[in-house]
Structures are given as C-alpha cells and as structure tokens.
Amino acid sequence: MHCPFCKAEDTQVLDSRVSDNGDSIRRRRRCLACQKRFTTYETVELRMPQVVKQDGSRTEFDLDKLRTGFMRALHKRPVPTPLVDDAVATIAQQVLGLGEREIPSRRIGEMVMKELYKLDKVAYIRFASVYKSFQDVDDFRDAIKEVQKPSRRK
C-alpha cells in the first residue's frame, strides 16, 4: 500500500475492523516514512465472466440486458417486479457461482428459460420462440405441450 501523502511503499497496519455491514475491512495505517496516518478499505471484487456468443465474439455479462430479456418475455403478464428481480439475481448468482472466466450465451439462455418457466408459462413460450427460433406453428404446439406436462421442470 502506497502512502497517499508521500507515496512511500512501506506502511504499517495499526488497526483492522470489519465494517458494520460485514462486507469490507477498515484498516488504519501509518506511513513509516512520513509517519502520517490514513484509512483504507478492503472489499471483495467479484468479476462476472465474459459471455461467449454464438458467433464466437465475447461481451461483458450485463444484468440490464438480462433484465430486459425478462421484461420483454413478461410484457403485460401478471408477474410482480420483485419476482423478476429475484429471478435475475438467481441467474447472476448461478453465473458467478460457476467460477468460470467465460460462459456460453446458450447456457445463460437455458437459465433464463428455467426461471421463466417457474414465473409464467406464457412468458416462457414467448422467450422460447425467439431463443429456439421457432419456424412454424408446430414448434409452438410442441412448446405448449411441453409446459402442459405435469412436473416437467423443477
């Protein structure tokens, strides 16, 4: 840790405490060169993996884009916003929990379909029609039969 006053590299930790909310550590330090004191905060930095698209290109994982996908599928459907927020958070936790540096967009799509299936069957069909590139009415019919089966998904 560099001293913010004289830029010296040698500092001494005088005191360490966990923050009130428990997500960071507060450290009181003293510069060994100029003897001035300062405070630093240590927090966990979690990095979401890169999303590998169908064409091989890579992009940052984007929660807003994920939420937009949910909202499009759920347009004019009676699903409360807190449930959508929970579904988005669930997917973000799953992606983070994988511990991978990259994740295929297909895998995220499957996660979205699983959450939509739990939230609203119509939204699930809407999303599936785009995600699976339905070509004709038979594709819709098959998807509807799929959601009508009891206990197909968990």
| Residue predicted with more confidence, 127 or 16 | 16
42-100 tens-digit pLDDT: 987 778 899 999 899 999 999 999 999 999 999 999 999 999 999 999 999 999 989 89
Give 104's pLDDT tier (boundaries 50, 70, 90): very high
CA proximity to 95, closest of 111, 79, 77, 115? 111
| The pLDDT of residue 43 | 85
Residue 40 scores a pLDDT above 50: yes
Q: 20-52 burial by CB neighbour count: b if 16+ within 10 A, else e? A: eeeeeeebebbbeeeeeeeeeeeeeeeeebebb
Residue 151 scores a pLDDT above 60: no
Pull the structure tokens for residue 50: 């890169």
Pull the structure tokens for residue 91: 């997917």
Residue 107 CA to residue 104 CA, distance in Å, equals 5
pTM: 0.62
